[in-house]
Amino acid sequence: METISILGVKISNISKDEALARAKEFLVDGQQHFIVTPNPEIILAADRDEELFYILNSADLSLGDGIGLKMASWLIGKNLKRITGADFTSDLLDLALAEKKRVGILLWKNGLSKKTEVEDALRLKYPTLDFFVESIGREPDAELSEKFLNFAPQVVFVGFGNPSQEKFIFHNLNNIPSARILIGVGGTFDFLTGHRRRALKIIRQAGLEWLWRFFFSRQKIGQPRARRIRDAVIIFPWEFIKRQFIHPLFYRPNVVCLLYKKDGDRFKILIAERQNEPGHWQLPQGGTEGESLLIAGARELREEINTDKFIPKRVFKNLYRYKFGNRPGETSMQAKSRQRHTGYKGQSQGLFIAEFTGRDEDIKVNFWDHSAWKWVDSEKLVDSVHLIRKRSAQRFLKKFKEFVKQK
């Protein structure tokens, strides 16, 4: 199956018939499958939310929704087959009915459509469909009722809105063992209940649903709906053009975080193992996002280890620069993956040094970035990191030793 990468999010380039055929296979293969329907707003959100980015790229099927994605694919010489979430939801309901599968629908308790309204609408349109509707909070740890779990749905629709629905599904797969297909559908059921008007078919085919929503959303400029339209129509195209055609000319400003603690007369330095790359240990790092090294380093470290129990000590600018795919031991697949995510041709790295003041239990690395962390003796840092990190680690360690001598 061909995939197209748009701002680093992988989209399955298949037709609606092919997607439904895959869904039919999902219902009988005995496994759980997660389907996402990214649109420009969701992809922009994932560009700012690393957890969402990881979750979208972990899905079994990713169906491109939104004319903006199709236009973006044209700019890279592809022709993405667009599948709207609303249409695919109707098709999945038809499939569940035909295959006699139980359907579970999870609604946000504060959403437009209430539980009874969705139930009435479903009974009217699908009289013989076996379904169960439940309204709950949209936090990842929101509890499902015993009735819902005993109903044992095989197709589950989650209408919490993005990114809550994707995060809820990802974190609750194991809590709904009967489910074979789980998909986030946003406000799709609001169309069924009549709370929202869907654009005329000719407008949908022309890719102008955003314009329809703008005029019929009953919201003023600056409110959520208008902001989402702005993101889809203005911000997304600009970000895509930058990522595709401007970033490849430059190095990404990056900050490497060297977190240390004193151990007697020696120093320990924290390193982390990259998610999905066993044995790839490195110093935590991330983009500066236009901030100073001091601010970016503190932010990145807080995000990476989920604690603020450290004291910033020093920063060093412009210590190391490299091109993706131009480092010993880096595979072409790794290089393409990193470039696809950022768009840049490489990274220009500064160093942020901080002293850890908490307890080891305070450190919790993000599952989407790293699978483990550990302290290593400063003298063993270079030997402990991955091959492609050794040259830069030597330079960072040298600066750390200079910092220690000056203390």
DSSP 148-209: HHHH--SEEEEES-TTHHHHHHHHHGGG-TT-SEEEE-TTHHHHHHTSSPPPPHHHHHTT-H
Q: What's residue 219's pLDDT?
A: 44
Global pTM?
A: 0.86
Q: What's residue 121's pLDDT?
A: 96
Task: Give 135's strand partners.
Answer: 107
- Write the Ramachandran bin of 268: left for phi over 0, alpha for psi from -120 to 50, otherwise beta: beta
- The answer to whether the Cα torsion of 185, 188, 190, 196 is positive or negative is positive
Q: What's residue 342's pLDDT?
A: 77
Q: Could you read off the pLDDT of 229-279 as tens digits, one per residue?
A: 677 778 999 999 999 999 999 999 999 999 999 999 899 999 999 998 999
Mean pLDDT value of segment 96-100: 97
- Indicate whether 22 and 69 sit together in one domain: yes
Q: What's residue 84's pLDDT?
A: 87
Q: How far apart are CA 257 and CA 248, in angstroms?
A: 25
- Indicate whether 186 and 266 sit together in one domain: no
- Indicate whether 131 and 44 sit together in one domain: yes
Q: How far apart are CA 253 and CA 235, in angstroms?
A: 21
User: Number of structural domains, the chain?
Assistant: 2
Residue 198 pLDDT > 90, yes or no? no
Residue 281 pLDDT > 60, yes or no? yes
- Indicate whether 169 and 50 sit together in one domain: yes
Q: What's residue 195's pLDDT?
A: 81
**CA-to-CA dists, residue 2 to 78, 163, 181, angstroms:** 10, 25, 21
Q: What's residue 40's pLDDT?
A: 92
Longest dimension (CA), the chain: 77
- Indicate whether 323 and 341 sit together in one domain: yes
Residue 222 pLDDT > 50, yes or no? no
As a whole number of Å, the CA-based R_g of the chain is 24
- Indicate whether 291 and 193 sit together in one domain: no
- Indicate whether 60 and 128 sit together in one domain: yes
Mean pLDDT for all residues in the chain? 90
Mean pLDDT value of segment 284-312: 96
Mean pLDDT value of segment 300-324: 96
The CA-to-CA distance between both ends of the chain, in Å, stands at: 57
- Domain residues for 188? 3-242
Residues of the chain by 3-state class (helix, strand, coil), percent to 5? 45, 25, 35
